A and B are shown apart, each in its own frame.
Chain A
Amino acid sequence: MAIGKNVPRVDAVAKVTGRARYTDDYHMPGMLHAGYVRSTIAHGRVTRIDTAQAAALPGVEAVYTFEDVPQTLFATAGHPYSLDPAHMDVADRLLLTGHVRYHGDEVAVVVARDRLTLQAAIAKVAVEYEPYPVMVEGAAALAEGAFEIHAGSRNRIGESRYQTGQDVDAALAAAPIRIESHYRSRIVQHCHIENHIALAYMDDLDQITIISSTQIPHIARRIVGEALGLPWGQIRVIKPYIGGGFGAKQDVVLEPMVAWLTRRLDGRPVQIDLSREECMIGTRIRHPFDIALRAGADEEGRLLAMDLDVISNSGAYASHGHSVAAAGGAKMRSLYPNAQVRYHAQTVYANIPAAGAMRAYGSPQVLFAVECAVEEAARRCGMDPLAFRLKNVVRPGDKDGLTGKPFLSCGLVECLEKGRALIGWDEKRAALAGGQDGPIRRGLGVACFSYASGTFPVCLEIAGARIILNQDGSVHVQVGATEIGQGSDTVVAQMAAETLGIPYEKVHVVSTQDTDVAPFDTGAYASRQAYVVSNAVKRAAEELKEKILAQAQYMTGIDSAALDLQGGAVVYVEAPERRVMLLGDLALASYYDKEHGGGQLTADVSLKTRTNAPTFGCTFVEVEVDIPLCRITIREICNVHDSGRILHPIMAAGQVQGGAAMGIGAALYEELLVDAESGWIYNNNLLDYKFPTPVDIPEIGWAFVETTEPTSGYGNKSLGEPPIISPPAAIRNALWDATGVKIDTLPLTPHRLFRHFKKAGLI
């Protein structure tokens, strides 16, 4: 039995010894290096581009400008293909552009034999621009008559709304306690330590092979085909180990370009390896949201209604389009299902880097607003914010306000109770009740979240698993689900071992996805993988087990119904301690018996998931605020999660700590700074973009409330993404608790604290 155990992570040894290979470790003799010429302004049109000097440098193989590339617009989002034209992703990209839309847009590409020549040549491409008006904020782009960033778009990418309950306006009007506020989040960047990188080559006339650091190899194959107008089957995408993605690699960024370049250059290998500086602006960011929120509660502490109006800023290109804002709104609905909700969102273009998917996909922004407003409602009722939440959050049996479907597994109340005990909420609150007036003050905060396990019913959810019985009785498992650091290969091995009844060590997971051979799966995103892959692996394991037992019946004459596979041996169901034969012996016979049946025993399953399991959790935090220095220090923080059954406790804790740390980064440190007038980006590097170091992240506590999700193969629900969601609101609420100052914009940097403390007369 492997589920729930701390089995050794399948790739840990490869990684600590440095033997695990990432894209940059696939170096080919004669490989060419390509790099972009990036715009130095945020919005405008190229009026003149002179590549002669660059092209003349010895060692430069080619220089292509926006005038040389195919004029087929393509979409880049790592979404499953949609058969419904209305749901297709927005195709607004070319390989290079003469209309530059953010500081760093790609106007030309240079190919050289070495990196040094490449950099010298890029610097020698002379570009002149006609500037266009720069709009950095979503609201500016939406203004009447605003300059169109994409012709014909009116700067709008998408819009959606939903409403639960009867009449949100009436409920708000009648509510004795009304809250109205404006919440904003600024630009966060993923900062995976491995920058975007891809390599392409051809080994015949039409097959293009791409090795890429991608979360979505099968989708990348399709999009490269679409972008280059090639049959998808001619594209082969290989995903080796990847050094983090967090959503920025759930997008097709470099693959079409390297594929196009290798085709132009006789199939020679071409690599694009973005620098950190490029990666921070030229890939994807998290959408900054602007949320106007109204909420109503009654004096007994019942949350009655919420009305959210959201502007989601997608930056220069649509990428994931309106999906992020729509998903953030939809996944929030499960948190307070007894309040009426109206949600309206618009996604717009602006002259900032393109936004895309990032861990928890819209939920951090939306739930920051919701959990700030709920905090205010609680305080206005004169209630303990925790008690208010306990009174209002989802409980088992509650129904989704839109679909009417009941929540099957739901342990949020238990999460809140557990967190309360862990942090010592009641004691700490009592200790602070007397009020504080010194320069250093403490405060307590809590915030909740709801999330989902995948994208169904908005998108297709499909997973593939193939399990092969090897000659020695071990198995190889191939899945289309991608390991990106979250530990997916390990839980797949655990699942296969559990259902097959063989030791975990006998399960080999093929970590690399190669679209020519890996089963189809759309990849790592939406915190979906362990959930959607669970049923595919389980089904495949069951099928293989059935074949194994049939083989055993053939070999022994014992009815397979009386047999089972346990610990790598065929045993009697009734007497599992009695071994009928070892799996290795069975396998050899199956492969090599001259007379009968068998052969290579394989199960190959492709499964669509038509369910989605909501997940829940919360963050508790105690902060200390140094008012004169405008600094927040986290004294204690813990996340408590209901993620269904925990498959691997150590790795699960790692997801929580890593996610919460990113949440702390977004709460206190991280903001990509864009000049409001010029769109210039100031801090596209890891020195100036303040991604927290080991000394900046406190010890992060965690706990799980284990529930069993009936729609999942092993009772598990999503875990990778949610931990990032609730820390920012909890920290903001604790800051309010400590100082009486409430700040509705993230991040809570010293500069922002300074302005607010000053206004409040604290300094």
Chain B
Amino acid sequence: MFPISDYKKATTIEEALALMAEDPGLRPIAGGTDILIKLHKGKPGYDRLVDIHDVAALSGIRLNDSGDIVIGPGTVFNQVIANELIQTHLPVLATALATIGGPQVRNMGTIGGNLCNGVPSADSAPALLVFNATVTLRSHTGVRQLLVADFFKGPGEVDLAPGELLTAITIPAADHRDHFGHYIKYAMRDAMDIATIGCAAAVAIEGDRLGDLRLAFGVAAPVPIRCPAAEAAAKGRPLDGELAERVAAAVLSDVRPRDSWRAAKDFRLQIIGELARRALRHAVMNAGGRLPCDRP
């Protein structure tokens, strides 16, 4: 039995918002794969819950009129992965989510929960970052929208006010149309593990040049980040043997990994540089180009 001290069930978004407005101390629980574990471990602060597990309006994926992909945050990972829109327009997100946990966890955990949990290792984050995804946050009093990049505030901390609920994740049409991406998760095991480093790259190529690079990392800083220096270093460069090296070198000024018992800083730096090379190479390949590089 979980040490839950207060429990309210919501079946609609409005109901959830009303409950949270009335009692801002309530925390939403959707898939439960993070919160129930925290409760199991006796972590304080998670014992008062508003259950949004069965709020149908929070799940599902659609294309809106502008061609943006709108993902309901309550959609479980496996539904996102199997979704045709995602498979067609955003396969890199499917790749990233498929690295989470195991099949069971992916049938329970939700993409919104993965973001709201706020951990630097969230596998959904780098992929969403490189596609300039936004989050829509609703409360009883209003709605606001911000870039995923601005949503992360610190380790375990997101820009979510009491009473606010994440109601949509949107990937703008322009971003998913002309960029091709790749995600690599580096972890100690190939399943059931958290990322030591996660890296997503998205590119647009123009002939034999790299028109645009977007590079994002998980666990390379206190929050998932984009890499402006590496992106600038790559923009417009020819797809030659030097490019991967330039990016791998430049990325080191973007990242701020830390030493922890899970991995040392210098080790993380090694992996970051290497993943930058490989993610770039694969993203270019997915965009139909070729990047000379001796790495797999």
Question: Do the two chains touch directly in the complex (Cβ atoms below 8 Å apart)?
Answer: yes
Interface of A is mostly: loop
| Bound: A629/B271 CA distance, A | 6
A438 at the B interface (CB under 8 A): yes
B3:A116 contact, CB within 8 angstroms:
yes
A630 at the B interface (CB under 8 A): yes
B193:A687 contact, CB within 8 angstroms:
yes
13 new A-B contacts, CB < 8 A, other than A629-B274, A630-B271, are A116-B1, A116-B3, A119-B42, A675-B261, A683-B261, A687-B194, A692-B189, A693-B190, A694-B191, A695-B190, A696-B189, A750-B196, A751-B264
User: Shortest 9 CB-CB distances between A and B: which pairs?
Assistant: A695-B190, A628-B274, A116-B1, A693-B191, A682-B261, A690-B188, A754-B267, A695-B191, A693-B192
**B41 — which chain A residues lie within 8 A by C-beta?**
277
A120 at the B interface (CB under 8 A): yes
Q: Which residues of B contact A (CB under 8 A)?
A: 1, 3, 41-42, 102, 186, 188-194, 196, 261-264, 266-267, 270-271, 274, 294-296
What are 9 A-B pairs with beta-carbon distances under 8 A? A439-B295, A440-B296, A628-B274, A629-B271, A630-B267, A669-B188, A673-B261, A696-B190, A754-B267
Categorize the interface residue count of chain A.
20 to 34
**A120 — which chain B residues lie within 8 A by C-beta?**
3
Kindly provide the distance from the CB of A183 to the nearest chain B CB, expressed in whole angstroms. Answer: 23
A387 at the B interface (CB under 8 A): no
B263:A119 contact, CB within 8 angstroms:
no
| Bound: A673/B189 CA distance, A | 16
A626:B189 contact, CB within 8 angstroms:
no
| Bound: A665/B102 CA distance, A | 19
A751:B267 contact, CB within 8 angstroms:
yes
A763 at the B interface (CB under 8 A): yes
Q: Which residues of A contact B (CB under 8 A)?
A: 114-116, 119-120, 123, 277, 438-440, 626, 628-630, 669, 673, 675, 682-683, 686-688, 690, 692-696, 749-751, 754, 763
The 8 Å CB contact of A751, one of B1, B3, B189, B263, is B263
The 8 Å CB contact of A763, one of B3, B261, B270, is B270
B270:A630 contact, CB within 8 angstroms:
yes
Kindly provide the distance from the CB of A686 to the nearest chain B CB, expressed in whole angstroms. Answer: 8
| Bound: A460/B34 CA distance, A | 51
Kindly provide the distance from the CB of A155 to the nearest chain B CB, expressed in whole angstroms. Answer: 26
Smallest Cβ-Cβ distance to A277: which chain B residue: B41
Smallest Cβ-Cβ distance to A624: which chain B residue: B296
A750:B188 contact, CB within 8 angstroms:
yes
**B196 — which chain A residues lie within 8 A by C-beta?**
750
B191:A749 contact, CB within 8 angstroms:
no
| Bound: A120/B4 CA distance, A | 12
| Bound: A692/B189 CA distance, A | 7
| Bound: A694/B193 CA distance, A | 13
| Bound: A697/B186 CA distance, A | 17
**B266 — which chain A residues lie within 8 A by C-beta?**
754
B274:A119 contact, CB within 8 angstroms:
no
B267:A123 contact, CB within 8 angstroms:
no
| Bound: A669/B189 CA distance, A | 8
**B3 — which chain A residues lie within 8 A by C-beta?**
116, 119-120
**A629 — which chain B residues lie within 8 A by C-beta?**
186, 271, 274
| Bound: A695/B270 CA distance, A | 25
**B190 — which chain A residues lie within 8 A by C-beta?**
693, 695-696
| Bound: A688/B186 CA distance, A | 15
Also in contact, A749 and B189, with CB within 8 A (given A629-B274, A693-B102) = no
**B274 — which chain A residues lie within 8 A by C-beta?**
628-629
| Bound: A157/B239 CA distance, A | 65
Smallest Cβ-Cβ distance to A692: which chain B residue: B189
| Bound: A695/B188 CA distance, A | 12
Smallest Cβ-Cβ distance to B102: which chain A residue: A693
A690:B193 contact, CB within 8 angstroms:
yes
**B270 — which chain A residues lie within 8 A by C-beta?**
628, 630, 754, 763
